[in-house]
């Protein structure tokens, strides 16, 4: 049987929080696509920032 890598629960929790934050930003923006570009732009910026953090891959900081 293969053992789980250390800190997988913390890592899963962190990544779940990121996915939920991206989903919340998108959910906030969707009703405003036609009438409030500032809300949409902020949501896109938030998503870009969140995904950028993931792509940087500083896993040791996420599970600390």
pLDDT in tens, 9-53: 889 999 999 999 999 999 999 999 999 999 999 999 999 999 999
Whether the predicted model's global pTM rises above the 0.85 cut: no
pLDDT at 1: 78
Phi and psi for 43 in degrees, rounded to 5?
Answer: -65, -45
Half-sphere exposure for 38 (CA within 13 Å, toward CB): 0
Token duo for residue 38:
């500032």
pLDDT of residue 6: 76
As a whole number of angstroms, the distance between CA 35 and CA 49 comes to 24
On the question of pLDDT at 59 being above 90, the answer is no
């Amino acid at each position: 049987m293969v053992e789980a890598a250390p800190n997988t629960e913390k890592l899963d929790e962190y990544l779940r929080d990121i996915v939920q934050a991206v989903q919340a930003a998108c959910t906030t923006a969707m009703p405003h696509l036609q009438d409030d570009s500032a809300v949409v732009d902020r949501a896109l910026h938030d998503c870009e920032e969140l995904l950028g953090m993931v792509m940087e891959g500083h896993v040791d900081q996420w599970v600390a």
